[in-house]
């Protein structure tokens, strides 16, 4: 009952807050508090799941029910993770149900604004389609690839059991390392799955599509298709999926295409193209592989070194798995957020450069002049150019418009993207001071160098000094057997 109450309480609290916001005549101030409450409720669901897993015995109860303890030879990672996280997933759906009155009220107010701007009005969706859309965009979009990775890793673990001798001390390490190729395979093929989950279709032929295809040709970007993303006119957004051209798609939502003019759409599209040109998706793979190897290498070595002292203090020993899990999630949360925000800023700079059409008769001090009387778009992008005023202005206007159509304050912070206001200020500052653009380019080169170095060092550590997993602890002091129940590190 305590487990269920911990997940139901934030849902009911948020529902009451949503109804109060809708009833207020001037909801602006209460909306700010409401948005903070939404963030706190989401954090609480994740924290409470951790408490249930490590303190209330939910982890062991699920393992016992699935027979994982009695049958350790049968990998059930995907089923196990889905069962362990099911209460949190249900709570997330409940939070969307709780938010529905506020979102419905905002859509109804938006109808008047759309009529004033000569835009076609769209009726707010009923509750069931609203929840299904959020489940697709906010749950299945992340959950399906994760489960696919775990299923592929389970298949690899079964293969290791048959191919590697039981006397091999690294047998369990090899089984865990199958997670890396499994994640890589799913990462390559996931766009084919996700484009169906998100309800997409090819962007119809017309002037807009031809302009976007011209952008692709200018930067030599190859993709399988440009897709129209059906969000029931609830989201103005764009995204790119896929590492290799055969499985790469660039998506533009219906609301984005309807509410932005062609020049702004081109700028948003150039931003997504920037992610591809700078190979951000491949660098995400480098980051996660390096982090995984780091947890198996230095992370495991740190736990082995601390275990003799932890067992002498029973409270610390019982909390060690929870602290290790929270520490791992905390590190990846902070590092991934920093990396993602840097990548978004680099894509912003790329889009501003791409949209810039005139270098100006008097280039700013410190900027390299163009070579020759005129530059092609490809030459402009390859040159160490500054962010021009026109490019910064057009893309900043597109960012601001995206915030407006999504009913999002431009000062609102985002873990992965940063605030729109800060991104706009950065671009406008670069347009006035070319030195800032050059400094940012050098910063990104250092970021890529650090990622490459981290991957090499972690790989050398793991493959030269492989940790002993599943057996005796490495280090001083007596040996301590690991628990037979697998641990859950899924989001």
* pLDDT over 50 at 418, yes or no: yes
* pLDDT over 80 at 453, yes or no: yes
pTM value is 0.76
Residue 386 gets which letter from DSSP? -
* Dihedral pair phi/psi, residue 239, rounded to 5°: -155, 155
Please report the pLDDT score of residue 161 as a whole number: 75
Question: Can you tell me the distance from the alpha carbon of 226 to that of 212, in angstroms, rounded to the nearest whole number?
Answer: 8
Question: Can you tell me the distance from the alpha carbon of 467 to that of 146, in angstroms, rounded to the nearest whole number?
Answer: 25
* pLDDT over 90 at 172, yes or no: no
Q: pLDDT for 279-317, tens place per residue?
A: 998 899 899 889 888 887 787 777 777 666 666 665 555
Cβ 235 vs Cβ 255: under 8 Å: yes
**Greatest pairwise CA separation for the chain in angstroms:** 76
Q: Which DSSP string corresponds to 23-50?
A: H-SS-HHHHHHHHHHHHHHHHHHHHHHH
Please report the pLDDT score of residue 424 as a whole number: 94
Q: How many residues in total does the chain contain?
A: 491
Higher pLDDT, 367 or 59: 59
Apex CA 336: angle with CA 267 and CA 458, to 5°? 125
* pLDDT over 60 at 478, yes or no: no
Higher pLDDT, 423 or 304: 423
Please report the pLDDT score of residue 293 as a whole number: 85
Q: Which helix (H) or strand (E) segment is 238 a member of?
A: strand 238-241
Q: Which DSSP string corresponds to 100-149?
A: HHHHHHHHHHHHHHHHHTT----PPPPHHHHHHHHIIIIIIHHHHHHHHH
* pLDDT over 50 at 197, yes or no: yes
* pLDDT over 70 at 413, yes or no: yes
Radius of gyration over every alpha carbon of the chain, rounded to an integer in angstroms: 25
Question: Can you tell me the distance from the alpha carbon of 227 to that of 206, in angstroms, rounded to the nearest whole number?
Answer: 13
């Amino acid at each position: 009952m305590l487990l269920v109450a911990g997940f139901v309480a934030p849902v009911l609290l948020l529902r009451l807050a949503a109804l109060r916001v809708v009833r207020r005549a001037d909801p602006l101030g209460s909306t700010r508090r409401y948005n903070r409450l939404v963030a706190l409720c989401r954090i609480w669901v994740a924290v409470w799941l951790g408490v249930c897993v490590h303190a209330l015995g939910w982890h062991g109860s699920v393992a016992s029910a699935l027979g994982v303890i009695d049958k350790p030879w049968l990998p059930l990672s995907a089923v196990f993770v889905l069962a362990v996280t099911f209460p949190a997933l249900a709570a997330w759906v409940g939070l969307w149900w709780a938010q529905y009155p506020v979102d419905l009220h905002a859509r109804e107010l938006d109808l008047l604004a759309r009529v004033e701007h000569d835009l076609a009005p769209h009726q707010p969706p009923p509750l069931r389609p609203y929840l299904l859309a959020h489940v697709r965009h906010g749950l299945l979009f992340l959950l399906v690839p994760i489960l696919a990775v775990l299923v592929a890793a389970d298949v690899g673990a079964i293969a290791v059991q048959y191919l590697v001798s039981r006397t091999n001390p690294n047998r369990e390490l090899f089984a865990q390392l199958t997670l890396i190729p499994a994640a890589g395979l799913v990462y390559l093929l996931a766009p084919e799955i996700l484009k169906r989950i998100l309800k997409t279709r090819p962007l119809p032929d017309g002037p807009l599509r031809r302009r976007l295809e011209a952008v692709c040709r200018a930067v030599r970007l190859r993709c399988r298709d440009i897709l129209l993303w059906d969000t029931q006119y609830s989201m103005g957004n764009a995204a790119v999926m896929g590492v290799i051209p055969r499985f790469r798609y660039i998506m533009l939502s219906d609301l984005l295409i309807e509410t932005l003019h062609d020049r702004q759409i081109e700028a948003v599209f150039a931003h997504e193209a920037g992610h591809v040109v700078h190979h951000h998706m491949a660098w995400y793979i480098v980051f996660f592989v390096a982090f995984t190897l780091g947890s198996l290498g230095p992370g495991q070595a740190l736990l082995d070194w601390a275990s003799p002292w932890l067992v002498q203090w029973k409270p610390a020993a019982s909390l060690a798995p929870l602290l290790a899990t929270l520490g791992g999630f905390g590190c990846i949360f902070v590092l991934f957020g920093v990396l993602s925000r840097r990548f978004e800023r680099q894509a912003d700079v790329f889009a501003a450069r791409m949209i810039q059409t005139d270098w100006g008769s008097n280039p700013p001090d410190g900027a390299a002049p163009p070579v020759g009387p005129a530059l092609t778009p490809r030459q402009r992008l390859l040159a160490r150019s500054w962010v021009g005023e026109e490019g910064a202005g057009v893309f900043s206007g597109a960012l601001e418009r995206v915030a407006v159509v999504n009913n999002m304050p431009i000062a609102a912070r985002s873990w992965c993207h940063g605030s729109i206001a800060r991104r706009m200020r950065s671009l406008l500052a670069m347009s006035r001071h070319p030195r800032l653009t050059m400094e940012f380019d050098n910063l990104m080169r250092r970021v890529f160098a650090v990622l490459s170095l981290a991957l090499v060092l972690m790989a050398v550590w793991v493959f030269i000094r492989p940790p002993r997993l599943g057996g005796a602890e490495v280090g001083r002091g007596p040996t301590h057997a690991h628990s037979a129940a697998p641990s859950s590190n899924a989001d």
